[in-house]
Amino acid sequence: MGQLQQFLPFLLMFVVLYFFMIRPQQKRAKNEREFESNLKVGDRIITKSGIHGKIVELTDATVIIETMAGKLKMERSSISLELTATLKKD
């Protein structure tokens, strides 16, 4: 019983850390992966660096977007879920 009381604060700290930090991060990463897999040609997007554009070509790992300045090739992971969702609300 004494050993259990000794490790109880550590166990409680781990549980709190899991539910407030690890689990939400895993959920956010899952949503990002799902968003990246659902991209399609013609979608209007915003990259994480703030570049606005429209998808003109997709491959497994990259995307080519058309901007006012021309076409850019970038990784799918550089497209922001939050900013693109904001763009679609407007």
Q: CA 74 from chain center: how many Å? A: 15
Q: What is the mean pLDDT of residues 16-39?
A: 92
What angle do the packed helices 23-37 and 81-89 form, to 10 degrees? 60
For the chain, the average pLDDT equals 90
CATH class of 40-90: mainly beta
The mean pLDDT value for 5-15 works out to 92
